[in-house]
Structure 1
Amino acid sequence: MKLVVVLMLSALALSCYAGSGCERLEEMIYNTIDPSVTKAEFTKSLEEFIPGDTTEQLLGEFKQCFLDQSNRTLSNIKVMMESVFNSRQCASY
Protein backbone atom coordinates (compact mmCIF):
# COMPACT_ATOMS: atom_id res chain seq x y z
CA MET A 1 0.00 0.00 0.00
CA LYS A 2 2.83 2.38 0.83
CA LEU A 3 4.34 1.80 -2.59
CA VAL A 4 1.05 2.70 -4.27
CA VAL A 5 0.85 5.94 -2.28
CA VAL A 6 4.44 6.87 -3.15
CA LEU A 7 3.84 6.15 -6.83
CA MET A 8 0.69 8.27 -6.84
CA LEU A 9 2.50 11.19 -5.26
CA SER A 10 5.35 10.79 -7.71
CA ALA A 11 2.88 10.94 -10.57
CA LEU A 12 1.39 14.12 -9.14
CA ALA A 13 4.82 15.73 -9.26
CA LEU A 14 4.78 15.37 -13.05
CA SER A 15 2.07 18.02 -13.09
CA CYS A 16 4.63 20.41 -11.69
CA TYR A 17 7.06 19.43 -14.42
CA ALA A 18 4.35 20.10 -16.99
CA GLY A 19 3.92 23.63 -15.64
CA SER A 20 0.37 23.34 -14.31
CA GLY A 21 1.02 25.36 -11.15
CA CYS A 22 3.10 23.82 -8.41
CA GLU A 23 1.84 26.04 -5.61
CA ARG A 24 -1.70 24.65 -5.65
CA LEU A 25 -0.41 21.12 -6.18
CA GLU A 26 2.00 21.39 -3.26
CA GLU A 27 -0.80 22.71 -1.03
CA MET A 28 -2.97 19.72 -1.93
CA ILE A 29 -0.13 17.28 -1.32
CA TYR A 30 0.77 18.77 2.05
CA ASN A 31 -2.91 18.72 3.08
CA THR A 32 -2.98 15.06 2.06
CA ILE A 33 0.13 14.23 4.08
CA ASP A 34 -0.72 16.34 7.15
CA PRO A 35 -2.39 14.09 9.77
CA SER A 36 -3.95 17.12 11.49
CA VAL A 37 -6.10 17.84 8.40
CA THR A 38 -9.35 15.89 8.66
CA LYS A 39 -11.10 14.24 5.72
CA ALA A 40 -13.79 16.95 5.84
CA GLU A 41 -11.22 19.76 5.76
CA PHE A 42 -9.35 18.01 2.96
CA THR A 43 -12.41 17.67 0.73
CA LYS A 44 -13.53 21.22 1.56
CA SER A 45 -10.15 22.58 0.41
CA LEU A 46 -10.67 20.81 -2.93
CA GLU A 47 -14.41 21.40 -3.35
CA GLU A 48 -13.95 23.53 -6.49
CA PHE A 49 -12.44 20.47 -8.20
CA ILE A 50 -15.02 17.93 -6.98
CA PRO A 51 -17.75 17.32 -9.57
CA GLY A 52 -19.94 15.05 -7.44
CA ASP A 53 -20.53 12.95 -4.37
CA THR A 54 -18.65 9.94 -5.73
CA THR A 55 -15.47 11.97 -6.19
CA GLU A 56 -15.86 13.44 -2.73
CA GLN A 57 -16.25 9.98 -1.23
CA LEU A 58 -13.17 8.69 -3.09
CA LEU A 59 -11.11 11.68 -1.94
CA GLY A 60 -12.15 10.88 1.62
CA GLU A 61 -10.95 7.31 1.16
CA PHE A 62 -7.69 8.58 -0.37
CA LYS A 63 -7.11 10.87 2.63
CA GLN A 64 -7.92 7.99 4.99
CA CYS A 65 -5.06 6.00 3.44
CA PHE A 66 -2.69 8.71 4.65
CA LEU A 67 -4.36 8.98 8.05
CA ASP A 68 -3.72 5.27 8.52
CA GLN A 69 0.05 5.70 8.00
CA SER A 70 2.58 6.23 10.76
CA ASN A 71 4.06 9.67 11.38
CA ARG A 72 7.43 8.32 10.24
CA THR A 73 6.01 7.27 6.87
CA LEU A 74 4.26 10.63 6.43
CA SER A 75 7.50 12.42 7.29
CA ASN A 76 9.37 10.38 4.68
CA ILE A 77 6.75 11.19 2.05
CA LYS A 78 7.07 14.89 2.87
CA VAL A 79 10.85 14.70 2.46
CA MET A 80 10.43 12.94 -0.88
CA MET A 81 7.96 15.54 -2.16
CA GLU A 82 10.21 18.42 -1.08
CA SER A 83 13.07 16.76 -2.95
CA VAL A 84 10.94 16.49 -6.07
CA PHE A 85 9.71 20.07 -5.93
CA ASN A 86 13.21 21.39 -5.24
CA SER A 87 14.71 19.33 -8.04
CA ARG A 88 16.43 20.90 -11.01
CA GLN A 89 13.63 19.78 -13.35
CA CYS A 90 10.90 21.41 -11.28
CA ALA A 91 12.82 24.55 -10.30
CA SER A 92 11.99 26.43 -13.51
CA TYR A 93 8.26 26.16 -12.87
Structure 2
Amino acid sequence: MKLLIVLMLAALPLLCYAGSGSGCQLLDDVVEKTIDPEVSLSEYQQYLQEFLDSDADQEAVGEFKQCFLNQSNETLQNFDLMMKIIYDSPWCRAF
Protein backbone atom coordinates (compact mmCIF):
# COMPACT_ATOMS: atom_id res chain seq x y z
CA MET A 1 0.00 0.00 0.00
CA LYS A 2 2.84 2.40 0.83
CA LEU A 3 4.44 1.63 -2.51
CA LEU A 4 1.25 2.67 -4.28
CA ILE A 5 1.23 5.97 -2.39
CA VAL A 6 4.87 6.60 -3.33
CA LEU A 7 4.12 5.80 -6.96
CA MET A 8 1.15 8.17 -6.96
CA LEU A 9 3.37 10.95 -5.58
CA ALA A 10 6.07 10.21 -8.13
CA ALA A 11 3.62 10.10 -11.03
CA LEU A 12 2.03 13.51 -10.44
CA PRO A 13 4.95 15.63 -11.68
CA LEU A 14 5.60 13.28 -14.59
CA LEU A 15 2.23 14.16 -16.08
CA CYS A 16 3.06 17.81 -16.65
CA TYR A 17 2.89 19.64 -19.96
CA ALA A 18 3.96 23.05 -21.27
CA GLY A 19 2.28 26.19 -20.01
CA SER A 20 1.12 27.30 -16.61
CA GLY A 21 -0.04 24.51 -14.38
CA SER A 22 0.22 21.00 -15.71
CA GLY A 23 -1.66 21.68 -18.91
CA CYS A 24 -4.15 19.06 -17.79
CA GLN A 25 -7.11 20.51 -15.91
CA LEU A 26 -7.99 17.18 -14.31
CA LEU A 27 -4.47 16.81 -12.91
CA ASP A 28 -4.50 20.41 -11.68
CA ASP A 29 -7.83 19.79 -9.94
CA VAL A 30 -6.63 16.56 -8.32
CA VAL A 31 -3.45 18.23 -7.03
CA GLU A 32 -5.49 21.14 -5.69
CA LYS A 33 -7.96 18.82 -3.92
CA THR A 34 -5.09 16.70 -2.60
CA ILE A 35 -3.39 19.59 -0.85
CA ASP A 36 -6.57 21.43 0.22
CA PRO A 37 -7.14 20.70 3.94
CA GLU A 38 -10.77 21.80 3.52
CA VAL A 39 -11.47 18.81 1.23
CA SER A 40 -12.44 15.89 3.42
CA LEU A 41 -11.30 12.33 2.90
CA SER A 42 -14.77 11.24 1.75
CA GLU A 43 -15.09 14.20 -0.66
CA TYR A 44 -11.69 13.37 -2.13
CA GLN A 45 -12.55 9.70 -2.60
CA GLN A 46 -15.89 10.61 -4.15
CA TYR A 47 -14.17 13.04 -6.54
CA LEU A 48 -11.84 10.28 -7.75
CA GLN A 49 -14.46 7.51 -7.67
CA GLU A 50 -14.57 7.06 -11.46
CA PHE A 51 -10.86 6.15 -11.44
CA LEU A 52 -11.07 3.62 -8.58
CA ASP A 53 -11.65 0.03 -9.62
CA SER A 54 -11.48 -1.75 -6.29
CA ASP A 55 -11.65 -1.40 -2.54
CA ALA A 56 -7.84 -1.50 -2.50
CA ASP A 57 -7.77 1.54 -4.81
CA GLN A 58 -10.27 3.32 -2.57
CA GLU A 59 -8.14 2.55 0.48
CA ALA A 60 -4.92 3.68 -1.23
CA VAL A 61 -6.47 6.99 -2.29
CA GLY A 62 -7.77 7.43 1.25
CA GLU A 63 -4.31 6.86 2.71
CA PHE A 64 -2.81 9.20 0.12
CA LYS A 65 -5.19 12.04 1.07
CA GLN A 66 -4.76 11.32 4.78
CA CYS A 67 -1.01 11.85 4.40
CA PHE A 68 -1.73 15.40 3.22
CA LEU A 69 -4.39 16.00 5.87
CA ASN A 70 -1.75 15.21 8.50
CA GLN A 71 0.57 17.96 7.23
CA SER A 72 0.82 21.55 8.41
CA ASN A 73 -0.42 24.41 6.24
CA GLU A 74 3.20 25.44 5.71
CA THR A 75 4.08 22.00 4.34
CA LEU A 76 1.03 22.06 2.05
CA GLN A 77 2.03 25.49 0.74
CA ASN A 78 5.57 24.23 0.12
CA PHE A 79 4.20 21.21 -1.77
CA ASP A 80 2.06 23.52 -3.91
CA LEU A 81 5.13 25.67 -4.62
CA MET A 82 7.13 22.57 -5.53
CA MET A 83 4.46 21.49 -8.01
CA LYS A 84 4.47 24.95 -9.61
CA ILE A 85 8.26 24.87 -9.91
CA ILE A 86 8.09 21.44 -11.51
CA TYR A 87 5.41 22.58 -13.97
CA ASP A 88 7.54 25.58 -14.94
CA SER A 89 10.77 23.61 -15.27
CA PRO A 90 12.44 23.22 -18.68
CA TRP A 91 12.08 19.45 -18.31
CA CYS A 92 8.29 19.75 -18.13
CA ARG A 93 8.12 22.19 -21.01
CA ALA A 94 9.87 19.62 -23.20
CA PHE A 95 6.73 17.48 -23.09
TM range (shorter): 0.7 to 0.9
Aligned to 1:15: 15
User: How far is 1:7 from its partner?
Assistant: 8.3
CA distance in 2, matches of 1:9, 1:85: 14
Provide closer, same or farther for how the CA distance between residues 80 and 6 of structure 1 changes in structure 2, counting only shifts above 3 A. farther
Unaligned ranges ≥5, structure 2: 18-22
Q: Percent identity?
A: 47
Unaligned ranges ≥5, structure 1: none
TM-score (norm 2): 0.75
Asked whether the equivalents of residues 32 and 63 of structure 1 are also in contact (C-alpha less than 8 Å), the reply is yes
Asked whether the equivalents of residues 6 and 77 of structure 1 are also in contact (C-alpha less than 8 Å), the reply is no
1:23-42 matched pairs, under 5 angstroms: 23-42=25-44
TM-score (norm 1): 0.76
CA distance in 2, matches of 1:78, 1:42: 17
Q: Secondary structure at the match of 1:62?
A: helix
Aligned to 1:70: 72
Q: Which has the higher contact order (CA 8 A, sep 6+)?
A: 2
Q: What RMSD in Å do the two structures reach over aligned CA positions?
A: 2.4
Length, aligned pairs only: 86
Runs of 4 or more consecutive aligned structure 1 residues displaced over 3 Å after TM superposition: 5-11
Which one has a larger percent helix, Structure 1 or Structure 2? Answer: 1
